[in-house]
Structure 1
C-alpha cells in the first residue's frame, strides 16, 4: 500500500491539467488596460487518485516485461486508471496569462498552462467601471459582479503520470478533451476600484467533452485454446461539473498576490475500455492556487 501511494505522489509531480481555477474578481479590466500574471497550484481529484492507488510500479513492470500480454485483472486496473486520469488529470498546475480591457464592462484573456491553451471573456454587470487613478461613479459602493465564458483545449499529453506513461507501448491510450467553463463572480473591493485588492466568491459550471481510445499492441485474450488479439477501441463522452470558489487579491495599486481555492463535483459517467469492460467514475476536485498579478496601461 505504501508503494502504491508513493507512485501516486510521483504521478502528481508530472500532471498536466486543464486550468479551472477561478482567480478573477467581479470587476473586469478597464478598456485599454492590461493585467498579466502567473499562478502556481494543483489539481487534486479524488477519482483518479483512488484509481492510481490500485496500481503499482511492480504491476506496471510485470505487464511490460511479459513475452505475451494476456488481458487480466492487472490490464483492466491499468486501463481503468488511465481513463480516470484522462477525465481529471492529477498534478501541479502552472500558468501565465494576459488580460485586456476590450470595451466598457468587457475584457478578454489568454492563458497558457503547460501545453493547454485557454481563451475567455468576462462581462461586468454590477459595479463601477473606473480605475484606481480615476474612480468611477458608484465606486464607493465597492461591490462588483461579472460572469464569463472560458474555453480550454487539451490533447494527448494528458497522460503524464510517471508510471502510467510506461504502459503506453502496450495499451496505446490517447485522449483529447475540450472544456467550457462559466463562472459567476461577486467581489468586495478593498479601497476604491480594488486599489488594495478584493475578496471574491461565486459559483461555476463546467462542461467537458472527451474523445479517447485504446490501440493495444500485442495484448491477447484466451478463447478456449486460442489466443485472440484484443481489438482497438475508441469512444467519446461528456460530463458536467458544478463548483464554488473563493479567492482574494492583496497588494497596492499595480501589483498583487492572489490566493484562490476552487472545488468541483462531477459525475464523469460510464466509459467503455478494453475487452468490452466499462467503468463509472465520480468525485470531488480541489484546486488551490497562488499567483502574482500586475496591472499596466492607460485607460482609453
Structure 2
C-alpha cells in the first residue's frame, strides 16, 4: 500500500482522535451551568450532587484554525522563532482558551439550608473552587414531608444567587495548546462572579417530583495573564516578556433546566447561553488583540436530597 493511500485511510481516524482529545481535556473552568431552582434548600436539609457539562465557546474555536495549529507545531520544534503575524495569532488563541475554554466541565457540589429562604453551597470543579449562596424571593419554604400551606403543583418560586469561583487558569490538555505554551510560557489566574435570577414552577407540592426553572444570569470575570517566552526574536533581538496584565469583562445570559425525580433523587438536564465582549488584550512586541463571542453550556446532573430528620 503506497503512502498516499495510507494517509487517506488514516485521516478520518486522526480527526476522531483529535475530537477525543478535546473531550478528554482537563476540566478546570468555573462551572456556569445553572442547575438550581427558584426554591432554596429548606432549613436543615442537605443537597449533594454531581454535574457534568460542556463549555462550548465560539471565541477559541474562531482562533484555533488549522493554520494556527500548524504554526504552533512548527514553532514548538524550533530553537529560535521569528515574531510574525502567526506569533500574534498563537497568543490570541491561548488567551481565548483561558477566557472561555472549549472543554468538558464537571463538579461535585453540596448545599445546606441555613435559615428559611437562605442556603449556601460549595462546588469542587477539579481545579476551580466555588462558593455560592441563594436567597429565595418568592414561594413557600416547606419540604415534601412538611409542605407549607398553599404549596401545590405549579407553585411559582423565585430566587437570586451569588457564586464566586477562584482558580489558577491553565490551557486545556490539547496537543496544539501544549505547543503554544512551550513557545509562549503562558501563565494566568482568574476569578469569576456569577449572579443568577431564577424562576421556577413546581412539579408536585414543594418540588416533590421536580420543577422547571428558567432565568437570567450576569457574570463578571477578572483575569491576570502574562507571557515569558525565551526563544521568540524580533530580528536579532529577543522579544521581552509581557509582565502580568489585569483585565475584566462582563457576560450576560439566560438558562433553562428541568429537575425530574421523586423526593430524594433527581436528574437535572440544563442549558445556559452567554454573550461576552472580552475586550482588548496586550500581547508581546506591542501587539494587541480583541475578543468576543457566545458560549453554550449544556449539562446534566444528579442530585440527592437529604431531608431534615429533626423535624
Give TM class, smaller chain.
over 0.9
The answer as to whether partners of 1:204 and 1:244 remain within 8 angstroms in 2 is yes
Residue-by-residue CA offset, 1:255-281 (whole Å, 9 max, x unaligned): 010000000000000101111111111
Measure how far apart 1:163 and its partner are: 2.0
* Structure 2 CA distance for aligned equivalents of residues 250 and 275 of structure 1: 54
Residue-by-residue CA offset, 1:7-31 (whole Å, 9 max, x unaligned): 5763453153211110000000011
The answer as to whether partners of 1:4 and 1:56 remain within 8 angstroms in 2 is no
Q: Paired residue for 1:169?
A: 182
Q: Paired residue for 2:284?
A: 274
TM-aligned CA distance change 1:177 to 1:165, over 3 Å: same
Answer yes or no: is 1:59 the counterpart of 2:68.
no
Q: How does 1:7-26 map to 2 (within 5 A)?
A: 7=18, 10-15=21-26, 16-26=28-38
Residue-by-residue CA offset, 1:239-296 (whole Å, 9 max, x unaligned): 0000000001011111010000000000000101111111111110000000110101
Measure how far apart 1:5 and its partner are: 10
Q: Secondary structure at the match of 2:73?
A: helix
The answer as to whether partners of 1:4 and 1:53 remain within 8 angstroms in 2 is no
TM-score for the superposition, normalised by structure 2: 0.90
Q: Paired residue for 1:38?
A: 50
TM-aligned CA distance change 1:295 to 1:101, over 3 Å: same
Residue-by-residue CA offset, 1:120-144 (whole Å, 9 max, x unaligned): 0000010000000000123136110
Answer yes or no: is 1:97 the counterpart of 2:106.
no
Moved more, 38-47 or 139-148: 139-148
TM-aligned CA distance change 1:8 to 1:217, over 3 Å: farther
TM-aligned CA distance change 1:112 to 1:162, over 3 Å: farther
Moved more, 29-38 or 159-168: 159-168
TM-aligned CA distance change 1:174 to 1:282, over 3 Å: same
* Structure 1 CA distance for aligned equivalents of residues 162 and 50 of structure 2: 20
Correspondent of 2:142 among 130, 151, 154: 130
- Count matched residues: 296
Answer yes or no: is 1:108 the counterpart of 2:117.
no
Q: Paired residue for 2:89?
A: 77
Moved more, 213-222 or 200-209: 213-222
Moved more, 160-169 or 110-119: 160-169
Measure how far apart 1:74 and its partner are: 2.3
Runs of 4 or more above 6 Å deviation: 2-6
TM-score for the superposition, normalised by structure 1: 0.93
User: Over aligned residues, Cα RMSD in angstroms?
Assistant: 2.0
Correspondent of 2:238 among 229, 238, 241: 229
Structure 1 unpaired stretches of 5+: none
